């Protein structure tokens, strides 16, 4: 199944609970906006494109569960649901992008309550379907950058679990392998929530793609020894001057520069933020208890970092490969 989808029978949002992987593959259903927000905050659904789809379906769910008596009242409720869902995670632009796209579509049409619900759901389904098509195109473009024999390092999980399906960074790897290229993957564990060791290794193993797991701090050692040919990561937001992605990405980029290893970012153009710069973006800080072993130890636990654009060799999008500097 897709990582996230609309359950048309139950009229709920159905998703793979990523907090249970790799031990257990289970789907859960969100029946209220509160349960959806909780699922996003706790990373049951995670990854920029997947939370975008969650936000889009969230507007449809808000319309589905509303007891508003008039279309005007319903639209006010949808605005409020949009604000709630949008406030769950600040860094990935895809969440706001998808929510705004659905809200813009519903508000641009007048209609009955039922018509508003149908419009919201159609737009959310369009976003989810587009995500897969977009990722396949990113894969096609990105596959041209990989050669047989390459060992490719990736950080976090930018695979099908982070999207509706296929994946961005892992989508490039899937496409290259589908094209007959033989590629080895190195997955960084991605402390503290281990999206690499729990999710990337799981989804690549499911597809029988060769993957070796390392600790985050082993990456530099392997680069120095000439064991990494290329690095591909996803992105949560791309501004003119930086790429925001999982904490640790910046460190890999500096090491890649030092060792002259190509550093690629694979992301849909919906991840590009043309209106802001690095300094404007809020980096999500997560619960200290994700790190803390000893009570009362002060903790700083940012979920993302910013990689300066000059550290990036190329950005692989569905529209083609962009070579920095970027000019929006
Ligand atoms: O905190 P997460 O697990 O949502 O972080 C995810 C990432 O950093 C991914 O690399 C990014 O969203 C790109 S996913 C295609």
Q: Count of residues for the chain?
A: 328
pLDDT, mean of residues 72-81: 97
Cα dist. 89→55, 149, 196, 288, 311 in Å? 11, 38, 20, 16, 26
Q: What tens digit of pLDDT does each residue of 2-27 get?
A: 999 999 999 999 999 999 999 999 99
Interacting residues of 258 by C-beta distance below 8 A, sequence separation 6+: 223
Of all residues in the chain, what percent carry a pLDDT higher than 90? 98
Would you say residue 1 has pLDDT above 90? no
Among 40, 48, 170, 267, which residue has the most ligand 1 atoms within 8 Å of its CB, making it the best to mutate? 48
What does the pLDDT read at residue 149?
Answer: 98
What does the pLDDT read at residue 326?
Answer: 87
- Which residues are identified as catalytic? 236
Q: What tens digit of pLDDT does each residue of 109-148 get?
A: 889 999 999 999 999 999 999 999 999 999 999 999 999 9
164 lines ligand 1 (CB under 6 A): no
pLDDT, mean of residues 69-74: 96
Q: Which CATH architecture best describes the domain 4-136?
A: Up-down Bundle (1.20)
pLDDT band, residue 153 (cuts 50/70/90): very high
What does the pLDDT read at residue 249?
Answer: 98
Would you say residue 328 has pLDDT above 80? no
Checking phi first, is residue 24 left (phi over 0); if not, alpha (psi -120 to 50) or beta? Answer: beta
What is the residue whose two structure tokens read 């460190």? 251
CA of 11 to the centre of ligand 1 (A): 27
Locate the domains of the chain by residue range: 4-136, 144-322
What does the pLDDT read at residue 136?
Answer: 98
What is the residue whose two structure tokens read 């064991």? 227
Q: How far apart are CA 121 and CA 102, in angstroms?
A: 8
What does the pLDDT read at residue 240?
Answer: 97
Q: What tokens does 145 get?
A: 């950058």
Q: Which CATH architecture best describes the domain 144-322?
A: 3-Layer(aba) Sandwich (3.40)
Give the nearest ligand 1 atom to 168 CA. Answer: 15
CA of 53 to the centre of ligand 1 (A): 14
Q: What tens digit of pLDDT does each residue of 46-62 get?
A: 999 999 999 999 999 99
CA of 67 to the centre of ligand 1 (A): 35
Cα dist. 240→99, 142, 272, 273, 285 in Å? 23, 21, 8, 8, 23
Residue nearest to atom 15 of ligand 1 (CA): 158
What does the pLDDT read at residue 154?
Answer: 98
CA of 304 to the centre of ligand 1 (A): 9
247 lines ligand 1 (CB under 6 A): no
């Amino acid at each position: 199944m897709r990582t996230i989808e609309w359950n048309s029978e139950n009229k709920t949002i159905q998703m793979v609970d990523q907090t249970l992987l790799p031990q257990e593959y289970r789907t859960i259903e969100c029946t209220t906006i509160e349960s959806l927000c909780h699922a996003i905050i706790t990373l049951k659904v995670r990854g920029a494109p997947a939370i975008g789809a969650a936000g889009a379906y969230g507007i449809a769910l808000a319309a589905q569960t509303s007891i508003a008596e008039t279309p005007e009242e319903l639209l006010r409720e949808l605005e409020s649901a949009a604000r709630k869902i949008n406030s769950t995670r600040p860094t990935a632009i895809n969440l706001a992008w998808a929510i705004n796209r659905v809200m813009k579509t519903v508000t641009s049409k007048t209609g009955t309550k039922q018509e508003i619900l149908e419009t919201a759901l159609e737009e959310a389904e369009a976003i989810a379907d587009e995500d897969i098509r977009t990722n396949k195109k990113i894969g096609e473009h990105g596959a041209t950058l990989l050669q047989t024999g390459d060992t490719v390092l990736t950080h976090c999980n930018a695979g099908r679990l982070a999207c509706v399906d296929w994946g961005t960074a892992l989508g490039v790897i899937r496409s290259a392998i589908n094209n007959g290229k033989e590629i080895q993957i190195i997955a960084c564990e991605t402390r503290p929530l281990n999206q690499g060791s729990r999710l990337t290794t799981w989804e690549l193993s499911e597809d029988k793609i060769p993957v070796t797991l390392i600790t985050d701090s082993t990456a530099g050692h392997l680069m120095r020894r000439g064991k990494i040919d290329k690095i591909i990561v996803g992105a949560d937001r791309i501004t003119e001057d930086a790429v925001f992605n999982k904490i640790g990405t910046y460190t890999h980029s500096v090491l890649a520069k030092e060792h002259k290893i190509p550093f690629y970012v694979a992301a849909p153009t919906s991840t590009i933020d043309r209106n802001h710069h690095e300094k404007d973006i809020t980096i999500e800080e997560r619960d200290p208890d994700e790190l803390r072993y000893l009570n009362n130890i002060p903790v700083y636990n940012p979920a993302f970092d910013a990689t300066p654009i000059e550290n990036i060799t190329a950005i692989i999008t569905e529209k083609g490969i962009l070579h920095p500097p970027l000019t929006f």
